[in-house]
Amino acid sequence: MRPVGEMDLFLTPAGRIMYPGDNLTDVQALREQIPALDGCVYLNCGTFGPVPSQSTDEVVRLLRLIESDGPFNPDVNETVHKVYETARESMSRFVGASSDEIALTRNVSDGINIVATGFDWEPGDEVIITDQEHPSGALPWINLSRRYGIKVRMLPLTHNQDETVASLEDLINPKTKLVFLSHVSTRTGYRLPAKRLCDVSHANGVPIMLDGAHAVGQMAVDVKDLGCDFYAGCGHKWILAPQGSGFLYIDREWIDKLKLTWLGWGMTEEYDLPSLSFESVSEARRFEYATMNWAHFGGLVKSIGVAEELGIENTEARISELATNLKQRLSDIPGIEIESPMEPEISTGLVALSTAGLNHEAPGKWLWDEHRILVAHNAENQWMRLAVAHFLLEEELDRFVECMTELSEDR
């Protein structure tokens, strides 16, 4: 498999991607499977990705089967169990793990909390996070600081991977119990040098967890190659899967060492109430408990299938091409300041920009109300984030640039 950077990318006006010697991948065919794209320019995969019809149809089929025939009907139960385990196998394959190292969760937040509460924390212990974490990537550690007196240390992110590595080397110390970093910054789309950071952490005898919310689905992820101990991801962003479908990778070495916090039926191998004893399974699924929304994992299987059919290298290359071109064009518009890195090798499809210079109090709302362009925008902070996904067409990005140019001219 060749690195993305060695591929020669050709984009046709029809929105097709072709690599020399490879089959033609028709983006238009993908778009026809995603109803949400009919009515808008969808630039917000970073919050929720639009779901292909085949994934939605599978969720509806399974939900109807479960609720109409009864979830404990033996035939239904067998079907649902197979779908659920297929989701585990599909996700493990997608991120380069073994299926026994994957716990199925609702989202990244589940995974972070499972790991955060799985350590025996003591006053003075330290955890390192970045200064650009999503609230769900910061609050669990802040909570631990209140409950147990641990210290949360913040690694400042710049758009320089060498500086990022050096910052971790400076922060890590004998009191560091865990390093928690985003694989891709939710704020700017900066691609952290995850493998190098894992090496630094392990060289100091410290386990490391990565938040893969904005990595899985838009770029190749191999948890074994990265060398992380824990990796949390979700289906509802770049994989284009239903909400409520996520995963937590736990390296096999940590499965029995990580403490259990939430327990319930389904995670035990042996259980005896009179003797108040139990033995949990020695797989990552020991961190799954109680009833899940089984049908949504059927949708996850379908969405992963679509992603694999497209080829993650194709997806990553197209996103890089579209995002790089868009940033270059936006940087020429007066009043817009790009906050994301410009270099493709440290960038992703997340493009952040300041709208402070546009003299418009709610450009995100205006884009939706007037042009049906969906973005993430914080009017108070005058910050906008675009998620440049592989299903977008060049003419859609042209429309966005024209709209931002119009706002700039109204200053």
CA distances, 196 to each of 199, 223, 286, 341 (Å): 5, 13, 30, 19
Question: What is the model's pLDDT at position 409?
Answer: 81
Local confidence band at 389 (pLDDT 50, 70, 90 cut-offs) = very high
Q: In sequence order, what are the residues at sequence separation of 6 or more whose Cβ sits closer than 8 angstroms to the Cβ of residue 188?
A: 132, 157, 159, 339, 340, 341, 350, 352
pLDDT at 10 over 80: no
pLDDT at 325 over 50: yes
Question: What is the model's pLDDT at position 182?
Answer: 97
Question: What is the model's pLDDT at position 1?
Answer: 30
For residue range 254-280, list pLDDT tens digits in order: 999 999 999 988 888 899 999 999 999
pLDDT at 318 over 50: yes
pLDDT at 18 over 60: no
For residue range 326-357, list pLDDT tens digits in order: 999 999 999 999 999 999 999 999 999 999 99
pLDDT at 137 over 60: yes
HEC profile of the chain: CCCHHHCCCEECCCCEEECCCCCCEEHHHHHCCCHHHHCCEECCCCCCCCCCHHHHHHHHHHHHHHHHHCCCCHHHHHHHHHHHHHHHHHHHHHHCCCHHHEEEECCHHHHHHHHHCCCCCCCCCEEEEECCCCHHHHHHHHHHHHHHCCEEEEECCCCCHHHHHHHHHHHCCCCEEEEEEECECCCCCCECCHHHHHHHHHHCCCCEEEECCCCECCECCCHHHHCCCEEEEECCCCCCCCCCCEEEEECHHHHCCCCCCCCCCCCEEEEECCCCEEEECCCHHHHCCCCCCHHHHHHHHHHHHHHHHHCHHHHHHHHHHHHHHHHHHHCCCCCCEECCCCCHHHCCCEEEEECHHHCCCCHHHHHHHHHCEECEEECCCCEEEEECCCCCCHHHHHHHHHHHHHHHHCC
Mean pLDDT across the chain:
92
CA distances, 380 to each of 66, 136, 240, 384 (Å): 44, 20, 29, 11
For residue range 74-91, list pLDDT tens digits in order: 999 999 999 999 999 999
For residue range 201-247, list pLDDT tens digits in order: 999 999 999 999 999 999 999 999 999 999 999 999 999 999 999 99
For residue range 53-78, list pLDDT tens digits in order: 999 999 999 999 999 998 889 999 99
Q: CA-to-CA distance for 364 and 373, rounded, in angstroms?
A: 8
Average pLDDT over every residue of 389-401? 96
Q: CA-to-CA distance for 81 and 71, rounded, in angstroms?
A: 11
Question: What is the model's pLDDT at position 160?
Answer: 96
What is the torsional sign of CA 181, 84, 96, 265? Answer: positive
Q: Which domains occur in the chain, in start order?
A: 4-32+312-409 (3.90.1150.10), 59-306 (3.40.640.10)
For residue range 117-133, list pLDDT tens digits in order: 999 999 999 999 999 99
pLDDT at 283 over 60: yes
